[in-house]
Structure formats: C-alpha cells, structure tokens
Structure 1
Amino acid sequence: MLNFRKLLCRPQVDDWSPLAKFFFADEALNTVAAELDAFDNRRHPERCQQLVAKLRSCQDRVLQIIEEMLSYLFPDPRDRAPRDYRVKFPDDVLHDSFSGQLWFAAECLAAGSNIVDRDFESDALRPLAKSLSRHVDELRDMLKLQSLKNPSVYPEKVKNALLVFDHLFAEFELNYVSTMVPVKTAREYELQLEMVVLFSETLIRAKKKGLITEEQIETCDPTIMFSLPRLAIVCGLVIYPDGPLNMDRPQENMCEMLRPFRRLLEKIKLLLLTLDDNEMSTLESKLSSSLESDFSPEEVSLFSDFCLQRKTGERPSTEASVLSPSPVVTVLSQPTVLQNCKQGCDVENVCPEISAIETPDESSCVPIDDSTVSTAGHFVCSQTAPRIRYRSSNDLIHRLFVCIAGIADQWQSTYPSDLRVVLKTIFHPVIDDEDPSGKIFEEAGQVARRPGHPEETGIDAAEPSDLQHVHVVSWVPDEECDSCSLCQVRFSFVRRRHHCRCCGNIFCGRCTTNFVPLPSLGYAKPVRVCDQCFEFLSADTVN
C-alpha cells in the first residue's frame, strides 16, 4: 500500500517545501543504507569507507531538513530544547556535519558498540542512544507518510514528535560531547567572558591610540591576531588591574589561559609599573607592529623550555629564566649592593635608578636623603629592583617585548581553541537574523547539484549568487483548475496535472512534453514547460 501511495502521491521533484525535500532525502538515505547492508566490507574495504561517508552525508541532509521544519514550526527558541550549553564546547566541535556525526554515534551505541577507551561511559549513554535511535526511525516514517498526504500541512501529532526528537537529540548531544571532549564549567565560561571583555576594551583603546586601524579590522588583517593578545596583556596588568589579570586573585579564580604564566605575569607587572608614558608608548608600538623583533636564540629557547617542563609535569620557573638579566649586569640581591645601601653611602653612585621613590598617587618624585636610607632602604630596593637590572631603557623594553610576546605566542599554541573563541566573540558578535518586518519570502528552488543526492531539490541547494537574480513564479493551485489550460481536456485519475515551470499554469502531459533549463528562475537543469512557453523561449533564443 505504501509503494502504491508513493507511485501516485509522490511529491514534485522541484517542490521546495521541507516535507517534500525530506521525502527525497530519506529515500536517498534508505538506498545507501540498503547498499551498505548488502556489501561485504572485507572484500572491498575502500568501497565500504566510501559508502559509510555517503551514509553520514545522507544523515546530515535528513537532519538539516528536520531542523528546517523545527525552525519553521517553532520560531520562538523558548518552545524548543535549549542549546545554551554549546557555548561551553570547544569551538572545533561544532561543524557542518556535527548533527550527522551524533546520529551515527547514537546508531553505533544502540547497536552495541563502545567508544574507544570509554566502556563505562558507553554503557551509561546506551539507553539514551537507543531511545534516540528508536524515535528517529518513528519520526522518519511519520514524516514520510505526511509528505505523501500533504507536504504543506503539519498535524499536531507530527509537531509533538518533532519536539520530542529535539529534546532527545539535545540531551544526547550534551552527554556525548561531555564524554568525548572536556567541557567548560559555568565558572570557567564566566572567566573566559572576562577575557573577552578585556580584549574588547583593549581593541577600543588600541583604535583610539592608532595602534590598530579600522581598515585592519574590516579586512581581518592577520596581524591583529598577534598584536591584540599582546596589547591585552599590557592593558590587563596596568590599565585594567581589577580585571581578569588581577594578580591578587586566587589561582582557581583565574582563566585557564593565565594560570601557567601567573608568576611571570607578576614580574612583568612590576616592570611595566616602572615605565613612563614614552616608554609605554614605545612598548605598545612594538607589540602592535607586524615586524618581527631580533630575538637571540637564547631568548627564543626560553619558551620552548616552558613547553618541555609542562609535558614533564614540572612547574616552570619563568621568573628565573625569562626575566634573569645578562651576566654582566649587577643583581640587586647581591650582598655588596645591599650592604652599601645599609651603610648609608651615596645611593646615586651605586644605583642611579633608585635615587627617588615614585608614589602611586603623584607624578612627582620624593628625594631620598641619608637619614631615610637606613629605614627605607629595603623598601626602595624592593620597588626598583626589577628596573635596575637592565642597562638602559631600550634593554628593558626589549626584554618586556620578549616576555609579553612569548606569553601571547604560547596562547596561540597551547590554548588555540580558547583564543579563537575570544577573537570570534569580538570580531563576529551575535547578530539577530530575524527579519524586522516579520515577513517571510520564498524563492524558486533549483535542482540540487550535490554529489550523491541528484534527486534532492530545494532553495538551499541554489548558489547564493544565483538567488540574487531569481524571480518567483506563482503556481496555480491544483484545486482551482480542472482542465488543461491549453487543450481544455479535463483531468482524471489517469490524466494527471503538470505545472509549467515558466508560467505556473496547469497543463496535461501532452501539452508539457518539452524540457528546457530556466537559469533566470533558478532551474539550472532542464525542467518541464508548456508548448506555448517553449515556443516563446525558442524564438527568444533564435533572436
């Protein structure tokens, strides 16, 4: 009975309604599944891999159409299963074939397979996978029957089944992804959002100072990917000290990107606080420049040591390796210098850099006399110790550049997913795609050109450049025409109706025997047209 109904009530090939597209997509999926079941994978393993890839592609297509139905029937996201948990996923998890991959995994788990090295988690997921797999089969049968009855109507039973599928699929998605990859907690996500705010404020400040131009942002200049994290470190330590780079926070309240570099960031902050405005501007200009600095091999190897220590489980001694001065520079912690400070000798002759104490509230400096050296000598040395280790201002700026650029480069290699999420959130904010007028416009579809699905059609198969020039043709409803518009022969059980794709009128089979492509209407391949339109198109082509 079902095959007989398929023969008589089969949807039109160029019908772009979701149910009509689902009929052909489901037929293609059944064809590939039947071929895969009857195939001997031991004799032809390469062909088997091709069929499996084709099967997953068909599953992607079916799920895309089901998602289209859900979006059409339930435009309010509150009526559907929430997907807010996706923000905690790594950015490389969500891709175009993600839904098909989940369906394939549910089928494998329901059949008794286990995830590699996760037997306990597989047993916990199996009941949910069986429920999802069973409901998907029931939903496919229900949607196929409805597409044969009336592709433009969705009964209440179909709507409820779609909602149940939506909730089951969302639950399986969260549990499966949490099993396969590490998922952020709510607190970790909040800390990541703090980094997003810091990067955003840094970008605004860099634009005002001319370090990053609007043209670089509009053209997505790759140099921003390197300069913005470097500038964010400076802003987070000096300009916005109460933000995510607040070194007074506990270790667990810091973003995961910052925890391995906490001690190094503390040393960098001490050095940054000793810079004046001109030195700070010079450092920021170097950090935002696309030109590479002249690193010595010793300086470059410092950060490879960090990676090696991270792999072996040792705590990186960043402040000792990166910020250590050259051997010829006298270190303040040496007994001779401390003894000179305690004896009340001329401080300017020993350490010219510590001849004054810079107060945080005033820009002026308070001179140090001999009477205060003995009591405040330790305070003076602790405040200016990072600065006096370097020969000159250029040496200090260069060392800061090496350290800051090294941390930013480590983010690129160690935390690429988190850094991509931060940058995407800044440069690609969430945009409301809903039409403000509330109107929905339909355009004529064309035959899909995807390999492996020649029978599928729809508006989503057309190229974006083609859709800009597509003109909609209104079709005459079947119930409004009882006879052929050309020969006036009445339709019957044997004589079926046929729409002309050019004018939209209804004709019999004898009056629509011509097939021509209509690129202006979105049909790249030959489609059915009436005799009158065929003569008109032929004459137009000759002229």
Structure 2
Amino acid sequence: MDQKLLHGANPSSPYPAWLQDTGDAPGPGPTMIPPLSPQRSDPRLLSQFFFADERVTRVVAEINGLDAELDPQQYLVLLNQLHLSQAHLLAILERIMEECIPTQRHSRDYLVKFPEELLVDNLGNHMLFAAECLLAGTFLEVEEADGAQLRPQARNLLCSLELVRTVLREQSLSQPSSYPEPVRAVLIQFDRLFAEFELSYVSSLVAVKSPEEIYRQQEIIVLFCETVERALHMGYLTQEMIDGYEPLLMFTIPRLAIISGLLIYPDGPLSLEQSPEQMSQVFSPFYNLLKKIRDLLRVLSAEELCLLERSLCTAESEDSCSRATPPAWEAAVPRAEPSAPWTVLEVPHPTSPPSTCMVQLGPPGAVDDLGSAWQWGPQSLGSSPGLDATLSAHCWELRSRYSSTKDMLHTLFVCISGVADQLQTNFASDLRSILKTVFKIVASQVEPSEETGASRE
C-alpha cells in the first residue's frame, strides 16, 4: 500500500492522513481515506481502548436486540458480559488518565471516609451502573428524595463518559500515541464528575467518617503501634509473630492497647478526661466501662499487671471472655475456669493493703524497666502522709470487693477482652483498617539487598 495513504502527504498538516488530499486521486476534490482500525496487537492504551469500547458497544447492541422474556438465560449471559466488558473499559480508561493527566487528577482523599467493605475493585463500575439506574428513574439503593438530588450529577457523569468515549475513539483512529489538549480536557472533566458523584452517592448510602473521626482513628493507630513496641520490649510478643501476621494478634493488640491507653498514655485517644462524644466512635460506647477498668488497673502491682497482660496475650478466646461486656462493673462475671493456662493468675490474696499500688508521677517521661512511663512501688504523688493514707485506703477499698487476687484479675481479663473482642464485631471494618496500617508500620522492613537476593534465588 502507498505509504502516503498511511502516513499522509503532508506531515505538518494538523489533520489526520485520511482527511488530507494525497494528490493522487483524480477530480477536483480531496480524496477521503477511511480511517485504519488499530491492530489488536498494538500495546498502546488508545488502541486497547478502541477494542474495549467496541466490545461494550457490541454487547449493548445484542442486549437491545434481545427479548429478555423469550430468552431470559441469554439475557443474563449478555448482562454478565456487559459488566465484564464495562469493567475492562474502565480499567483501560483509568490507565489512560494516569498516563495523560497524572498531575491533574481529582483528589480521592475522600476514600478514607468510606467503610472498608466498599473499597473494592469494581467500585467504579458499580458507580456507573448506579448512575444509569438513577437516570432511568430507578432507585435501587437510595431513598427517592436522595435519588432525585443525585440524578443531575448522574446525567452529567454519563454525558461526560459518552464524550470521552467518542473523543478517545477518534484519537485512537488518528494518532493513538498522543493526547492533544481537547483529549486532556474531556478526561479532566470526566475525572472530576466521577469523583463528585462517587462521594455524593456513597454518602447517601452510608455514614462516611468526618475529618475529626479520621484523625481520632489515626491516633488509635499510633496507640496500637506504641503498644506493639512496648509488648516487644516486655517480651509479650516477638517480631516473628508480627512478621508472620499471627492471627491471635488481632485480639492481643487491641487488648493490650486498652491497658496502654488507660495507664501509660492517659492523654491519648482513650483519655477519659474527655467526653464520650470527643472519643473515637470505636471506643466511645465503652466509656463508662473503661473508667471502671482504669480505676482497677491503677491498684495493681507491677507483678499483677504483668500477669494480666501475659494472660491477655496467651489465653485463647473463650465463651466467658467473648460475651458482651457486663453493663455495670458489679454485674456477675462468669466464673468458669478457662482452658488457657490460668495458673499464671494464682496470686495470694493480700491480707493488708498492698504496698505496690502504682501511682502516676507527672506526665509520661522516661521509660522504666517495664517499658512504661509509670513508676511502681510504695510511692505517692507527694510527701503528705494524709495523701498516702487516702491512696492506700482507696486501693484497699477497690481490692476488697473481690474474694481473691485471682478473682480480681479474672474480672479485668473478662472486661478488657470483652471490650476488645466487641471491636471485632461492632467495628470490624474500622479495626481491620487500623490493624492493616499497624502491621505495615511495625513489620520488619526487608532490606533492598535481601529483596534482590531473594528474587535471584
């Protein structure tokens, strides 16, 4: 074939070759050469988009020409093909935008507000399907009033998508290696409209997190990381457990974090000096119970706290520990002996107020040998004998409510485990997201040389 027909007679012309006059054809007018379709083997994104778009168009035509009532099985087959072909088209379009307008993409920071279960690979395809339903007057997931408000956004989004498909098809037939300004403009507009509709639509379905809640959960991530570091220092956990993503850690880390948040970092996200409304929604439902847990934790000796924390790390979750937390501290606590090694809790019940009540001395500072900012032993906030006596009496009064030290530690174990384990049920999505981030931070970082060696091996 004449190369002039492929590449054009005038390379400097702004028009594609098939719109140029080659000078070879007779007659007064220019010869219109039909555009050449891209080759399927062409790896360029615009060429791949051409065939993906062609596939969507063909499936839609087959669906429109089918009577769904006469052949419902074939209709379902075509509908599934449509979803798959649309998802493929959107994936290529996403890659084109990353290649064409990487610095002009609309911000997707709002995605951190969404529940984790919504952040799936086919979310974009679902958004376009929702827009089509809204434009057709069908409200599958939203209230009618919300749907009426979303319909203009849905219309603008779908119109923008059709414009993008038209422009990219034309570009793929003319110059599939370049993205002129008109192409960039329609892509920027589509990206913005898609993001705006996605945020509006999801916000009408579920309660998205506020910026304040996102910040509070980031504070919880910091607390969990500090908890893991302390647990490593104390020997409760090992780095191998963390690097191996030991399943038990999903229970262990939140349990230990409750103790850290109440005792070691009392000004952090579990601070009880703030109101429940100021706490993260993850822990605010347990506000009153956390207060009672904190009060009892404060009367433990260093040895007792160590025993409690070790039991929280090693005890298997059992019925009595996974039940709902008692509504009041004085509520009956299950007394069934667990199958875990509870012998660590066999501590003699003191006959007099313990001399090892722990007292916080000022704000967290130097870390002692237990890995915390707390001072242990018969020390007090001051030298006043009256204050010492008051603190000792308070410690004794709290401890005297239990028949033995084991009973007291068992109560703490059940209540702390109850709060932590309910996070798995009531805030599963938030907790998974928090723990994922924690593991990314505290897991061992592979050195580049190790990665290279592993890949060679």
Quick one: which of 160, 167, 175 aligns to 1:135?
Answer: 160
* Residue identity in the other structure for 1:240: Y
* Contact 1:56/1:101 (8 A) holds in 2: no
Match of 2:446 in 1: none
Q: How far did 1:8 drift?
A: 5.5
Q: How far did 1:52 drift?
A: 2.4
Q: What do the CA deviations read for 1:20-64 (whole angstroms, capped 9, x no partner)?
A: 110111111111111222222233444433332322222211111
Quick one: which of 401, 411, 419 aligns to 2:431?
Answer: 419
Quick one: which of 44, 53, 58 aligns to 2:80?
Answer: 53
Query: Tell me, what secondary structure is at the counterpart of 1:243?
Result: coil
* Residue identity in the other structure for 2:309: E
For the structure 1 residues 322 and 137, does the alpha-carbon distance in structure 2 shift closer, same or farther, using more than 3 Å as the test?
farther
* Residue identity in the other structure for 1:406: G
Match of 2:70 in 1: 43
Match of 2:39 in 1: 12
Comparing 356-365 and 21-30, the one that deviates more: 356-365
* Contact 1:125/1:175 (8 A) holds in 2: yes
* Contact 2:355/2:378 (8 A) holds in 1: no
Q: How far did 1:230 drift?
A: 0.8
Q: How far did 1:321 drift?
A: 2.1
Q: How far did 1:111 drift?
A: 2.0
For the structure 1 residues 318 and 33, does the alpha-carbon distance in structure 2 shift closer, same or farther, using more than 3 Å as the test?
farther
Match of 2:267 in 1: 242
1: CA distance, partners of 2:42 / 2:116? 36
* Contact 1:57/1:97 (8 A) holds in 2: no
2: CA distance, partners of 1:167 / 1:233? 42
Scaled by the length of structure 2, the TM-score of the pair is 0.77
Q: CA RMSD in A?
A: 3.1
* Contact 1:390/1:396 (8 A) holds in 2: yes
1:397 aligns with 2:409: yes
Q: What do the CA deviations read for 1:140-193 (whole angstroms, capped 9, x no partner)?
A: 011011111121111110011100000000100100110111101111111111
* Contact 1:6/1:148 (8 A) holds in 2: no
Q: How far did 1:210 drift?
A: 2.3
2: CA distance, partners of 1:30 / 1:6? 24
* Residue identity in the other structure for 2:439: F
* Residue identity in the other structure for 2:252: S
Quick one: which of 213, 220, 223 aligns to 1:188?
Answer: 213
Q: How far did 1:424 drift?
A: 1.4
* Residue identity in the other structure for 1:35: E
1:126 aligns with 2:138: no
1:87 aligns with 2:83: no
1:408 aligns with 2:408: no
Q: What do the CA deviations read for 1:5-32 (whole angstroms, capped 9, x no partner)?
A: 9985111111111101101111111111
* Residue identity in the other structure for 2:378: S
2: CA distance, partners of 1:35 / 1:150? 30
Point out the structure with max Rg over C-alpha.
1
2: CA distance, partners of 1:320 / 1:46? 62
1:386 aligns with 2:413: no
Quick one: which of 169, 172, 180 aligns to 1:155?
Answer: 180
For the structure 1 residues 378 and 284, does the alpha-carbon distance in structure 2 shift closer, same or farther, using more than 3 Å as the test?
closer
1:208 aligns with 2:222: no
Match of 1:455 in 2: none
Quick one: which of 214, 220, 228 aligns to 2:253?
Answer: 228
1:168 aligns with 2:193: yes
* Contact 1:202/1:235 (8 A) holds in 2: yes
* Residue identity in the other structure for 1:41: A
Higher strand share: 1
2: CA distance, partners of 1:356 / 1:61? 66
1: CA distance, partners of 2:359 / 2:435? 37
2: CA distance, partners of 1:376 / 1:212? 36
Q: How far did 1:136 drift?
A: 0.6
Scaled by the length of structure 1, the TM-score of the pair is 0.65
* Contact 2:353/2:392 (8 A) holds in 1: no
2: CA distance, partners of 1:356 / 1:92? 47
2: CA distance, partners of 1:239 / 1:357? 15
1:288 aligns with 2:313: yes
**Identity in percent:** 39
Q: What do the CA deviations read for 1:444-470 (whole angstroms, capped 9, x no partner)?
A: xxxxxxxxxxxxxxxxxxxxxxxx99x
1:319 aligns with 2:329: yes
Q: List 4+ stretches of structure 1 deviating above 6 A.
A: 323-326, 354-358, 375-379
* Residue identity in the other structure for 2:48: K
* Contact 1:11/1:147 (8 A) holds in 2: yes
1:257 aligns with 2:271: no
Gaps of 5+ in 1: 307-315, 327-349, 430-467, 470-543
1:364 aligns with 2:374: no
**What pairs up with 1:299-314 in 2 under 5 angstroms?**
299=320, 302-303=323-324
Q: What do the CA deviations read for 1:462-520 (whole angstroms, capped 9, x no partner)?
A: xxxxxx99xxxxxxxxxxxxxxxxxxxxxxxxxxxxxxxxxxxxxxxxxxxxxxxxxxx
* Contact 2:251/2:420 (8 A) holds in 1: yes
Q: How far did 1:324 drift?
A: 9.8
For the structure 1 residues 389 and 50, does the alpha-carbon distance in structure 2 shift closer, same or farther, using more than 3 Å as the test?
farther
* Contact 1:230/1:405 (8 A) holds in 2: yes
Match of 2:26 in 1: none
Match of 1:428 in 2: 440
Quick one: which of 88, 96, 119 aligns to 2:121?
Answer: 96
* Contact 2:113/2:210 (8 A) holds in 1: yes
Q: How far did 1:75 drift?
A: 2.8
* Contact 2:216/2:269 (8 A) holds in 1: yes
Number of aligned positions between the proteins? 384
1: CA distance, partners of 2:355 / 2:194? 69
Match of 2:56 in 1: 29
1: CA distance, partners of 2:130 / 2:223? 39
Query: Tell me, what secondary structure is at the counterpart of 1:320?
Result: coil
Comparing 130-139 and 31-40, the one that deviates more: 31-40
2: CA distance, partners of 1:119 / 1:402? 46
Quick one: which of 69, 85, 97 aligns to 2:96?
Answer: 69
2: CA distance, partners of 1:6 / 1:221? 65
Q: How far did 1:325 drift?
A: 9.5
Query: Tell me, what secondary structure is at the counterpart of 2:91?
Result: helix
1: CA distance, partners of 2:261 / 2:185? 50
1: CA distance, partners of 2:379 / 2:420? 34
Comparing 112-121 and 81-90, the one that deviates more: 112-121
* Contact 1:325/1:389 (8 A) holds in 2: no
2: CA distance, partners of 1:288 / 1:377? 34
1: CA distance, partners of 2:332 / 2:112? 35
* Residue identity in the other structure for 2:327: S
Q: How far did 1:106 drift?
A: 1.0
* Contact 1:202/1:232 (8 A) holds in 2: yes
